[in-house]
Structure 1
Amino acid sequence: MSASEPQADRGRPAQRQAEIAEHVLQHGSVSATELAEMFHVSLMTIHRDLDELERQGVVRKFRGGVSAQPSSVFESNVSYRLRASRQEKLALARRARELIEPGMAVMLDDSTSTLELARLLHDAAPLTVITNFLETIKLLSGVRGIRLLSLGGEYFATHDSFLGVPCIEAIEALRVDLLFASTSAVSGSYAYHQEQEIVLVKRAMIRAAQRAVLMVDHTKLGRVALHRVAPLRDFDLVLTDASAPENSLREMRENGVSYEVA
């Protein structure tokens, strides 16, 4: 660490890293130089901080800066996804809520889109909800009339959810009326995701559902990620929002995909 850096900064790297993470999550991406000036530390110190945040899965580094936004191989941390496209996700959730009837068994994946739907289920009882998303589990655990089944497995802090073989085996033992899921990228006639652990769980969820609904806001359309999740036609309905580009909607029509614009 540079001898010219304020002594106070030397003793609080964790606090500084938390503030850096908050700034990057708010702005999406930022340069290392800007962060060094903002926190009055050297570039070397900032890069050490960013290395630690990248190790935690909060951000990803690129030449000259850092980003919380997704790439074809990097899924955004759940903290960033909770902030992104809130109004669009709410529109999708309201339409999805209309598909749910009392007495159903409904599965929700670990997406922030389905979390918005979970917020609307307070008056849906009696209802059985199955999920692997810790945020949804906490949200619905005290809701009267909702029978909550949590899917166990290995906990992944980046997604705030449970994944892996135990999760998949738990899903395979169930059969639900409706699945609501999302994914990080949709292109052509396929849904994509960056991480194979997520892909395997989503595929198991699709197999476990009598009907499956994919909730994807317009920011996810026309993008690809490393792994194919499933053909869009594996979903009974694709929900997107009013800002969806016409070329993406045309591709879905041409490929025989059933979709609605919320």
Structure 2
Amino acid sequence: MNTRQHTSNRTARRHGMAEHIVRQGSASVTDLAEIFSVSVMTVHRDLDELERQGMVRKVRGGATAQASNVFESNIAYRLKAHTAEKDAIGRLVAELIEPGGSVMLDDSTTALAVARHLRESAPLTVLTNFLEIIRLLVDSPDIRLIALGGEYHSTHDSFLGLGCVDAVEAVSADAVVVSTSAVSERYAFHQEQEIVLVKRAMLRSGRRRILAVDHSKLARVALHRVAPLDEFDDIVVDSRAPAETLQRLRDHHGNVRVAQM
């Protein structure tokens, strides 16, 4: 086998491993070695590279695509997670958006769910740093689309960094919709500094601030605080949120909306 073939096979194997881990949520080193017919040491090298690319996170004995309090899951995994809940949330949030106005959407898959329902609220101006939302809305005749540029990050399929923050701070939107990786009784959190900086800038640029999170994000914390919950005008969650968790959230915020599944 020549060098080019070896590199091609290794790339295909790593792609296959990433897809398997994303699909299953996690996988052990021994299972991966058996599935892909390679040694345990080869699996470890492959996982090291996939972790470097932000595709998976190595844990003891294997790897996971799921988030931790310091690691955000890859976009491929997030696109598959809690889709029904996000769709219900997206539908409800879209109903809060006034036709003829402007709405800024962050790079979350929950905001993507909102975008899927925005044609019902058109005409609208939509501002976003999420490439997946841009692809979705680019051909919508009644939606004026403004891309918030910056440095492209493939792990999130979005634009981040100082360029994005500058672009966000140069505009003002009637409504801003953000999602975060974790929500406690008082704060919204995220794991990554660059994303936190963009979300904070978005919140400063919006007249009405909406936090949209599915139930899996509740009663959790992550490394960085994005904002106190009292900075949001609305918090939208899905109806699979436990009643006790919802009540604690309502004890600290007066406008919690529940999207029915």
Structures share fold, TM-score greater than 0.5: yes
How many matched pairs? 255
How far residue 11 of structure 1 moved from its aligned partner, in angstroms, is 5.7
How far residue 68 of structure 1 moved from its aligned partner, in angstroms, is 0.3
Equivalent pair of 1:131/1:149 in contact (CA under 8 Å): yes
Residues 20-70 of structure 1, C-alpha deviation per residue, up to 9 Å, x if partnerless? 111100111110001101111100111111111111100000111100000
Pair 1:220-2:200 in alignment: no
Pair 1:242-2:245 in alignment: no
Which residue identity lines up with residue 206 of structure 2 in the other structure? Answer: A
Pairs within 5 Å for 1:58-97: 58-97=55-94
The secondary structure found in structure 1 opposite 2:211 is: strand
Give TM-score, length-normalised by structure 2: 0.94
Tell me which of 205, 208, 215 is aligned to 1:208: 205
Residue segments in structure 2 that go unaligned for 5+ positions in a row = none
Residues 68-117 of structure 1, C-alpha deviation per residue, up to 9 Å, x if partnerless? 00001000011100000000000001111111222111100000001011
Pair 1:190-2:187 in alignment: yes
Equivalent pair of 2:95/2:121 in contact (CA under 8 Å): no
Pairs within 5 Å for 1:59-208: 59-208=56-205
Identity of aligned residues (%): 58
Q: Which runs of 4+ in 1 moved over 6 A?
A: none
Structure 1 pair 11–202 and aligned structure 2 pair: CA distance change class (3 A): closer
How far residue 209 of structure 1 moved from its aligned partner, in angstroms, is 0.6
Which residue identity lines up with residue 242 of structure 1 in the other structure? Answer: S
How far residue 182 of structure 1 moved from its aligned partner, in angstroms, is 0.4
Residues 170-200 of structure 1, C-alpha deviation per residue, up to 9 Å, x if partnerless? 1111111111110100012100000011111
The secondary structure found in structure 2 opposite 1:95 is: helix
Which residue identity lines up with residue 115 of structure 2 in the other structure? Answer: A
How far residue 206 of structure 1 moved from its aligned partner, in angstroms, is 0.7
Give TM-score, length-normalised by structure 1: 0.94
For residue 45 of structure 2, what is the aligned residue in structure 1? 48
Deviates more, 1:239-248 or 1:110-119: 239-248
